[in-house]
Amino acid sequence: MPEIRVTPLGAGQDVGRSCILVSIGGKNVMLDCGMHMGFNDDRRFPDFSYITRNGRLTDFLDCVIISHFHLDHCGALPYFSEMVGYDGPIYMTHPTQAICPILLEDYRKIAVDKKGEANFFTSQMIKDCMKKVVAVHLHQTVQVDDELEIKAYYAGHVLGAAMFQIKVGSESVVYTGDYNMTPDRHLGAAWIDKCRPNLLITESTYATTIRDSKRCRERDFLKKVHEAVERGGKVLIPVFALGRAQELCILLETFWERMNLKAPIYFSTGLTEKANHYYKLFITWTNQKIRKTFVQRNMFEFKHIKAFDRAFADNPGPMVVFATPGMLHAGQSLQIFRKWAGNEKNMVIMPGYCVQGTVGHKILSGQRKLEMEGRQVLEVKMQVEYMSFSAHADAKGIMQLVGQAEPESVLLVHGEAKKMEFLKQKIEQEFRVSCYMPANGETVTLPTSPSIPVGISLGLLKREMAQGLLPDAKKPRLLHGTLIMKDSNFRLVSSEQALKELGLAEHQLRFTCRVHLHDPRKEQETAMRVYSHLKSVLKEHCVQHLPDGSVTVESILIQAAAHSEDPGTKVLLVSWTYQDEELGSHLTSLLKKGLPQAAS
């Protein structure tokens, strides 16, 4: 029995590092290859030994698919391809291919710089890994090999994020990666057609949440920034180079323009140009509004947001600075934070998640006295705010996507077990489909019904059409023919054609039956009585009395003979072909009932 098997090595009942193995139609695909930012040893990567034990990685895996550029989805890729040794194709969208190496490079530098790690992938490894990437367009069916094909759909979330359909023959799986069902200021909403996959693997980060209005959060954010600037304070917004940062920049830029604010806004040097470049390059991936207005005005060419210089941090007066990295664990954002932390007029807004151990995590959990290097204690007097701008589908959005794709079953990943449990029940109730939520290392096996394509000969099809019945997908119809299996192909042809093609002689197979009739008359007379009876009963059929005394009804032949032992009994010998089996049986049962008495 064919089956689909899914084993998460990461993202199974957690939001750590996505890495899901799917076996479908004998093909093995790895969905995402993420890294856990919370660890700084090998535990940050998925445990690939569970794949390597099946032999060489490149032989085992047919391809790797990366849904988007966030490190929890692609961070282990250079390790996997250059250090573990995967040499096969890696698929991702064009924007992901362009942005992925920048984030990997940023992370590498922090790992090597801050943590002093030596056993980490190098720049050259990132480049060599990216050379194995095959970039795909949205809705383009990409043939990985003769049997395996993939197709990308728009997922929102971040620039270039995609959902992927993986198809082998008639079996298919859709993997959503991270997605957002509501459009934001620079990206559109996720969309997929009614592809009815055997399985939909969906993220479930906000499995139990109906998110508050985005407008409210935006208003809140702008209000807080405005207040801080008005009171002469400095606002630090630690961000990752690309992603949510651009959403917040558009928000602030528009607000500054509307309110005619003068306080400067800065963005880490180099990044604005870089972001601008990529958003221009991939303008088709942004939302409709940005695409429409692009000709008159590029939304990413900011009037109020300028490149930051290290020396600006000491300038007097209010300012807003977007600085990297986003968790305040190294580099420029941490440097500025240390300078500004002591002033209660200042503010830091954390727009995303921070892992344990980072300064971001500490201040978000309310710690206000931080021990820095050299036993120095940094007292945090500045205002600390947390506002999540991560763009994931909420419970409503997930349900909407399930409804849109109409899968036969659903599998939840990238979420917390308790929340998944709730959503699982909801999906099962509402859509009447099975829903799974395997933990990391657990395998879900789904049996699938094989669908075998069969070609039909034109002759046979024409013959059927001649009967006036046109093919109709909704009304299955019985069709007789001969199935020929040759060279892994199935063809249905007429029996005559099959005999001709295969060079076989036709054999007639006839069923025979004896019916005893009590009739003392001569055989010819009995046959005549049978003929008359059948002629009167079977009006729609051609009943004939042949010169040799036998009777025929279509292909059915009836002959009367005397009983060897009992002259008062006649034996009717009935024979018919298998094509007329129905009529043959009917006729036999009719004769068994006896002949009507002759009118005297």
Partner 1 sequence: MDPECSQLLPALCSVLADPRQPVADDTCLEKLLDWFKTITEAGSSLLLLQENPCLLGLLCHMLKPQDLSPRVLAFSLRLAGMLAAQEDCFQYLQQGELLPRLFGEAGPLGGAAWTAPSVRSGWIQGLRSLARHPSALCFLADCGAVDTIFSLQGDSSLFVASAAGQLLVHILGLSLQGPAEGHPGLQTGDWPVCAQKIVSHIEESLRSAATPQITQALNVLTTTFGHCHSPWTQVLWVRLSPLVACLLEKDPVPAAHSLVDLLLSVARSPVLSSSSCGLWETLAQTLSHLSPTQAGPLALGILKLQECPQALRAQAFAVLLQPLTCVLEATAQAPGLLDSLDGTGGASVTVDTLLPSKAACVGLLCRTLAHLELLQPLPQRPSPWPQAPLLGATVTILRLCSGSATPTSDAGGHLCAFLVGCVRVQRAALDFLGTLSQGTGPRELVTQVFAVLLEYLTSPDSSPTVLKKAFQATFRWLQSSPETPGCSDLDPHAQLFLRELLPVLPKRLCSPCWEVRDSGLEFLTQMIGRWGGQAGFRRALLASEVPELTEQLLRDPESYVRASAVAATGQLSSQGLRVTPASPEHPGGQQKSLLAELLHILSTDSEGFPRRAVMHVFTQWLRDGHADVAGDTERFVARVLQVASQDLDWEVRAQGLELALVFLEQTLGRPSSHCPYAVTPPVAAPPSPLAQALRPLCRVQLFEFAFRALFDCDRPVAQKSCDLLLFLRAQTASYSGPQGSGNVPEVASVEAALQRWQAGDQGQPLGYLEPEVVVAVLRSMDLEGLRGALAESSDRVEKSPQSLLQDMLATVGALGEDEADCY
Residues 175-214 that bind partner 1 (CB under 8 A): 178, 205-206, 208-209
Decide if residue 314 touches partner 1 (CB under 8 A).
yes
Structure tokens at 517: 């009739």
Residue in the structure block whose two tokens are 């620079």: 186
With H, G, I as helix, E, B as strand and everything else as coil, classify residue 527.
helix
Within a 13 Å sphere around the CA of 90, how many CA atoms are in the beta-carbon half? 27
- Residue 101 or 481 with smaller CB distance to partner 1: 101
Rounded to the nearest whole angstrom, what is the least distance from the CB of residue 502 to partner 1 in the complex?
22
Among 251, 364, 410, 527, binds partner 1 (CB under 8 A): 364
b/e map 561-600, b = 16+ CB within 10 Å: eeeeeeeeebbbebebbeebeebbeebbebbeeebeeeee
Q: Is 14 in the site for partner 1 (CB under 8 A)?
A: yes
The 3-state secondary structure of 193-227 reads CCCCCCEEEEECCECCCCCCCHHHHHHHHHHHHHH
Residues between 465 and 524 with contacts to partner 1, criterion CB under 8 A: none
Q: Does 243 bind partner 1 (CB under 8 A)?
A: yes
Please state the closest distance from residue 420 (CB atom) to partner 1, in A. Answer: 13
Which lies closer to partner 1 via its Cβ, residue 51 or residue 517?
51
- Residue 439: how many other CB atoms lie within 10 Å: 10
Residue 101 or 584: the one with the smaller Cβ distance to partner 1 is: 101
Shortest reach from residue 557's CB to partner 1, in Å: 50
Binders of partner 1 in range 434-453 (CB under 8 A): 439-443
Between residues 374 and 468, which has the closer beta carbon with respect to partner 1? 374
Of residues 408 through 437, those in contact with partner 1 by CB under 8 A are 414, 416-417
Nearest to 517 by CA among 550, 575, 583, 566: 566
Task: Please list the alpha-helical segments (H only) found in 538-580.
Answer: none
Min. distance of Cβ 366 from partner 1 in angstroms?
A: 5
Minimum CB separation of residue 225 from partner 1 in Å reads: 20
Q: Under the criterion CB under 8 A, does residue 114 sit at the interface with partner 1?
A: yes
CB of 249 to partner 1, least distance (A): 17
Q: Which positions ≥6 away from 158 have C-beta within 8 Å?
A: 68, 69, 70, 178, 187, 242, 243, 244, 391
In angstroms, rounded to a whole number, what is the distance separating the alpha carbons of residues 426 and 424?
5
- Which among 372, 386, 380, 312 has a CA at the least distance from the CA of 343? 380
In the list 5, 219, 280, 372, the residue contacting partner 1 (rule: CB under 8 A) is: 372
Q: With respect to partner 1, which residue has the nearer C-beta, 128 or 525?
A: 128
- Comparison of 130 and 250: residue with beta carbon closer to partner 1: 130
Q: Where are the alpha helices (DSSP H) in 13-155?
A: 49-52, 57-60, 71-74, 77-78, 94-113, 123-130
Binder among 362, 491, 533, 545 for partner 1 (CB under 8 A) = 362
Q: Which is nearer to partner 1, 13 or 559 (CB)?
A: 13
Please name the residue that has the structure tokens 């990132």.
126
Among 289, 313, 309, CA closest to 300: 289
Taking CB under 8 A as the rule, does residue 373 contact partner 1?
yes
Q: CB 22 → partner 1: shortest distance, Å?
A: 15
Interface residues for partner 1 in 23-62 (CB under 8 A)?
Answer: 36, 38-40, 43, 47, 50, 54-56, 58-59
Distance CA 79, CA 129 (A): 9
Q: Is 240 in the site for partner 1 (CB under 8 A)?
A: yes
Among 335, 400, 482, 555, binds partner 1 (CB under 8 A): 335
Q: Is 536 in the site for partner 1 (CB under 8 A)?
A: no
Positions in 568-587 near partner 1 (CB under 8 A): none
Helix (H, G, I), strand (E, B) or coil at 319: strand
Q: What is the Cα–Cα distance from 562 to 278, expressed in whole angstroms?
A: 99
Choosing from 48, 67, 70, 242, the residue that interacts with partner 1 (CB under 8 A) is: 70
Of the pair 384, 534, the CB lying nearest partner 1 is at: 384
Nearest alpha carbon to residue 330 among 113, 179, 480, 167: 113
Reference 369, options 377, 357, 360, 359; nearest CA is 377
Active site residue 406: no
Of 308, 338, 327, 361, whose CA–CA distance to 240 is shortest? 327
Among 273, 379, 430, 581, binds partner 1 (CB under 8 A): 273
Cα–Cα distance for residue pair 206/393, rounded to 1 Å? 7
Q: Considering CB under 8 A, how many residues would be counted as binding partner 1?
A: 91
Strand order in the sheet with 455-456: 455-456, 489-493, 482-486
Q: Does 216 engage in binding with partner 1 (CB under 8 A)?
A: no
Q: Which stretch binds partner 1 (CB under 8 A): 191-199, 329-337, 506-514, 585-593?
A: 329-337
Comparison of 323 and 460: residue with beta carbon closer to partner 1:
323
Classify the phi-psi angles of 594: left when phi > 0, otherwise alpha if psi is within -120 to 50, otherwise beta.
left
Instruction: For the segment 119-138, give every residue that binds partner 1 (CB under 8 A).
Output: 123, 127, 130-132
Give me Rg for the CA atoms of the chain.
37
Residue 371 touches partner 1, criterion: CB under 8 A = yes
Is residue 157 within 8 A of residue 180, CB to CB? The reply is: yes
Q: Which of 310, 462, 480, 592 binds partner 1 (CB under 8 A)?
A: 310
Query: Which of 104, 109, 106, 110 lies closest to 126 in space, CA to CA?
Result: 104
Contact indicator for 520, 568 with CB cutoff of 8 Å:
yes
Q: Which of residues 115, 280, 480, 518 is near partner 1 by CB under 8 A?
A: 115
**Among residues 95, 238, 264, 331, the one that binds partner 1 under rule CB under 8 A:** 331
Active-site residue, from 82, 105, 149, 203: 203
Q: Map tokens 């036709």 to a residue.
A: 506
Binders of partner 1 among residues 382 to 411 (CB under 8 A) are 386, 388, 390, 392
Considering the rule CB under 8 A, would residue 116 count as an interface residue with partner 1? yes
139-158 residues in contact with partner 1 (CB under 8 A) are 145-147
Residue 374 within binding range of partner 1, rule CB under 8 A: yes
Nearest to partner 1 of 415, 584 (CB atom): 415
Cβ proximity to partner 1, 163 vs 460, nearer residue: 163
**Interface with partner 1, residue 2, by CB under 8 A:** no
Shortest gap between Cβ of 5 and partner 1 (angstroms)?
Answer: 11
Active-site residue list? 203
